Structure 1
Amino acid sequence: MSGPPTRAKGGETVARPLTDDLDLAVRLLAGTPTHEGRDPALLRRWARAADAFGTALEPGPPCRARIVERDDGLRQLLLARYSSRPATVELYTDTIGRAETLIDELGWRSWYPVGSVRAAALAHETAHALLHRTENRTALKAAIGHTALRVGRFRVLGHVAGAEEIAAHAHARTVCGLGRSPLLLTAALAAAVSAPGRQR
């Protein structure tokens, strides 16, 4: 996950990630059921398209979903969760707090300013709400270009599992002005929580 620590201007130790955001997105797809054995180059193309789509996705009106704060997300590694019926965003305050602490431990504050974890979690779930709309789902499929069925010159575009998640992370990175994708923080958080002597 991270390479040797380096020193930043203020003298603090910074954990330098070995993986860039696109590689993390490819890993997410590779670990998603239905993608076993797929060509890594194809997964990279899909990941790049989903990331670009999320980056360009218009924020739209403010999310009208009800926001519920909970404190039982750390064991499931959940920062937030969106459900459409009724439209609700659950924010897991214990996981958000641990993520904020981890950012300081790793020296990643220049990428993730104070308070940005909560903001990014909300932006991520707002993106899922946007992607729940038929026109955005269709546009994402077109951007990725996965052919599920072809009959003569007729082509049916297929759903790519994991693509919406990558798009939502890219959207959150963009609208919150983050230096790195929330995917990096999510991976670091999973490693920290599962490590021996982990803090919960």
Structure 2
Amino acid sequence: MNHSHHMGMHSMDHTMPPSHLHSTTSPSHSHGGGNDHMMMPMTFYFGYKNVELLFPRLVINTAGEMAGAFVAVFLLAMYYEGLKIARERLLRKSQVNIRYNSMPVPGPNGTILMETHKTVGQQMLSFPHLLQTVLHIIQVVISYFLMLIFMTYNGYLCIAVAAGAGTGYFLFSWKKAVVVDITEHCH
């Protein structure tokens, strides 16, 4: 057995159930100074004790705190979906420079189809583009927060992310115009 393989086996405690968070403050696991280190779960679990939510001081320990976190995460995921749709609508309203380019492409059975490409341009130094940039940053940060929340593997929080995203899509995307390009071959 090589040394690196042995180290990997030694660092894993097989007596711990994989579905719970465990404090490692016992003398054999202490890293000095009495720091309370948590092991990250690697499987889904349903619990509400010692669940860290994004920040070290934001720890869920009661059923009420988990219920509050569920609602907050649900609303954050719903807001994320609404923000995506709002950005699309804002972009359509603020389009300044629109160009259409058409070209013939071969269709089925020897027919010719016209493929049209729409190019939308904004000025780089404009308020609409600056607003889109700020909203994009907010959207990216929220998306990473939701990903990190899902990566807690806590079943309640994962359900909140999925249910919030689904509800947000249902509420905000129903008026979204869907354009189907019959010449599209790649997805």
Is the TM value for this pair above 0.5? Answer: no
TM-score by length of 1: 0.24
